[in-house]
Amino acid sequence: MDALRSLGRVIVAFWILSHLSLLAYSSSPQDLQILNAERRIDLSSHIVKVFLTLKVENTGASPVSEVLLAFPPTQVDHIASLKAALTVGKKKKKSYVPLEVNPTDLPDAPNQTKYFSISLLNPLNAGETATLEVLYILTHSLEPFPAEINQAESQLVYYRDSAIILSPYYIKQQTTFIRTPSTKVESFTRVESTNRAGTEIKYGPYKDRPAYSYSPVIVHFENNKPFAVVEELVREVEISHWGNLQITEHYRLSHAGARHKGVFSRVEYQSRPSSGGISSFKYLLARLPPRVHSVFYRDEIGNISSSHLRIDYLKSDLEIEPRYPLFGGWKATFVIGYGLPLEDFLFESPDGRRYLNFTFGCPLAETVVDKLIIKVVLPEGSKDPSAVVPFSVKQHLETKYSYLDVAGRTVVVLEKENVVPEHNSPFQVYYSFNPIFMLAEPLMLVSTFFFVFMASIAYLHIDFSICKTSS
């Protein structure tokens, strides 16, 4: 009996060890190689866009279901958005199939490399190839140098990256293109196979590079685009079943470019707009939904009249000018509000629930939002709220009391950091609502007026004298 128990323990131990080894093998990078990699880095704005095309081949014996992307730890924290797609077809018949991308970890990652896993729709069999298109957005990746400039100086920035694409796979051939806003480039790192033509710097092609190859480069160039960064945006979307959607947005805006030094001259700013403060904010453009009404723009002092609203059937453009020009390091706070017809954004789902379909993100063009808070205020009496957002956000519920509220209104709060224009996509908030609650406020008003009326009649007919007067 003891011998059987010992044999059982041995079998169990062998089973555990075999499964642990299998788990360790499955978590390691698969037998892939990249036949061709082309990366295009767009530095025309303070929001860096990187387009990456990878042609991968399975050189192993077993199918592969994922492709890993590698990033240095100094860069991964600045990734605001990362999307991948599988290319299907060729030339005019080419189409793109979106793929799921998730952060992942690998044991013994060299130099604290961070990874993202692209899940393929169908496993890539031995000898097969696939072409992937990747887009990732970097924020706060341009470093002003010099860090301080006066009003008449242009803004120069550094961009740091690698001429060779960081990858956990062997790359047979690769090329990197860096596009600057203009031809005014102070300097750039020259390594093997470096060429520059106009606004484009080309690194490569490089052939037969082993995994985790890296060649740091720095580009020092002129970028006079205003670095619009909203440190915090709080948007409140209040739903009224009486036919209106009220939007109120609180902004804390800053210019994240080279800090302004010296004295500001408004005379120079207005007389020489092309050179006196070329990197400052002259105006902001907010793209609002169509059919807006009751638009206002104000700050702590009061209403700001320097705004222009253009409306058509597709969109509404609100062009606003800050109360004072914003140079590097300067900040401003203001509020934008507007109303929208409810029928354009509130719908009913097949299960009878109602849902709001609205746009996530910031309406200001070419803006980075460090922290975005969206508060969807549901009508009083709403139950079972839930939000559907196409990317990860923090969610929680609050309660808000407004005029004539008894139990308070449920507020669905969505929070996300590092928001860029690519996050301007629809999201939905579902909730259940009994139409009988629409009568709550009218009945409360009627009851209030009734009791006031009855109290007035009683007051007029009650005799408050101490003694009756003799006739």
Nearest to 29 by CA among 170, 139, 137, 144: 170
Distance CA(358)–CA(371), nearest Å, equals 19
Structure-block tokens of residue 100: 């799921």
Longest dimension (CA), the chain: 121
β-bridge mates for residue 195, sequence order? 202
Is the Cβ–Cβ distance between 383 and 432 less than 8 Å? Answer: yes
**Same topology between domain 29-222 and domain 228-432:** yes
Nearest to 101 by CA among 51, 50, 60, 135: 135
Beta-strand (E) ranges in 139-243?
143-144, 148-149, 156-162, 170-179, 185-188, 194-197, 200-209, 216-222, 228-240
Amino acid at 207: K
β-bridge mates for residue 194, sequence order? 203
Instruction: Provide the pLDDT for residue 4.
Output: 38
Is the Cβ–Cβ distance between 380 and 439 less than 8 Å? Answer: no
Instruction: Provide the pLDDT for residue 385.
Output: 95
| Beta pairing class for 409-419 and 368-377 | antiparallel
Q: How far is CA 371 from the centre of its chain?
A: 9
CATH code assigned to 29-222: 2.60.40.3680
- List pLDDT tens digits, range 370-425: 999 999 999 988 899 999 999 999 999 999 887 766 678 899 999 999 999 999 99
Secondary structure of residue 24 in the 3-state scheme: helix
How confident is the prediction along the chain (471 residues), in pLDDT tens digits per residue?
Answer: 444 344 344 333 433 333 333 333 333 455 899 999 999 999 999 999 999 999 999 998 899 999 999 999 989 999 999 999 999 888 778 889 999 999 999 888 888 899 999 999 999 999 999 999 999 999 999 999 999 998 888 999 999 999 999 999 999 999 999 999 999 999 999 999 999 999 999 999 999 999 999 999 999 999 998 899 999 999 999 999 888 999 999 999 999 999 998 888 877 777 776 666 788 888 899 999 999 999 999 988 888 878 899 998 888 999 998 888 889 999 999 999 999 999 999 999 999 899 999 999 999 999 999 999 999 999 988 899 999 999 999 999 999 887 766 678 899 999 999 999 999 999 999 999 877 655 566 666 677 777 888 888 877 877 666 665 555
Burial class (CB in 10 A: 0-12, 13-18, 19+), 50: buried
Domain range list for the chain: 29-222, 228-432
Instruction: Provide the pLDDT for residue 20.
Output: 35
Name residue, tokens 């082309």.
Answer: 38
Secondary structure of residue 358 in the 3-state scheme: strand
Fold of 228-432: Immunoglobulin-like (2.60.40)
Instruction: Provide the pLDDT for residue 451.
Output: 81
Instruction: Provide the pLDDT for residue 369.
Output: 97
Distance CA(109)–CA(115), nearest Å, equals 9
Structure-block tokens of residue 395: 């969610």
CA contacts within 13 A on the Cβ side of 114: 11
